[in-house]
Amino acid sequence: MKKFIYIAAISFSLGACGGGGDDPTPPPVVNSAPTVPTLTYPTNNLLCIDNVLNFQWNASTDSQGDPINYHIEVSKNTQFSPLTHNVTSTTTSKSITLEKGIAYYWRVKATDNKNASSNYSTTFSFYTEGVGVTNHLPFSPVLVSPTLNEVVHGAPKILALTWTASDVDTSDILTYDVYFGTDKNNLTIASPNQSAKTYSASLLASKTYYWKVTVKDNKGGQTVGQIWSFTTD
DSSP letter (8 states) at residue 60: P
160 in Cβ contact with 194 (< 8 Å): no
Other Cβ atoms closer than 10 A to 219: 15
Nearest Cα to 179, choosing from 136, 141, 219? 141
Nearest Cα to 228, choosing from 104, 143, 122, 125? 143
**Rounded to a whole number, what is the distance in angstroms from the first to the last CA of the chain?**
81
| 233 residues of the chain, pLDDT tens digit each | 444 444 444 444 444 444 555 667 777 778 999 999 999 999 999 999 889 999 999 999 999 999 999 999 999 999 999 999 999 999 999 999 999 999 999 999 999 999 999 999 999 999 998 877 678 999 999 999 999 999 999 889 999 999 999 999 999 999 999 999 999 999 999 999 999 999 999 999 999 999 999 999 999 999 999 999 999 99
177 in Cβ contact with 141 (< 8 Å): no
CA atoms within 13 A on the CB side of 107: 16
Cα–Cα dist 182/211, whole Å: 9
Q: Is 132 left (phi over 0), alpha (psi -120 to 50) or beta?
A: left
Cα–Cα dist 38/60, whole Å: 8
**What are the DSSP calls for 113-130, one per residue?**
TTS-BPPP---EEEEEPP
What is the model's pTM? 0.76
Which residues make beta-bridge pairs with 112? Answer: 68
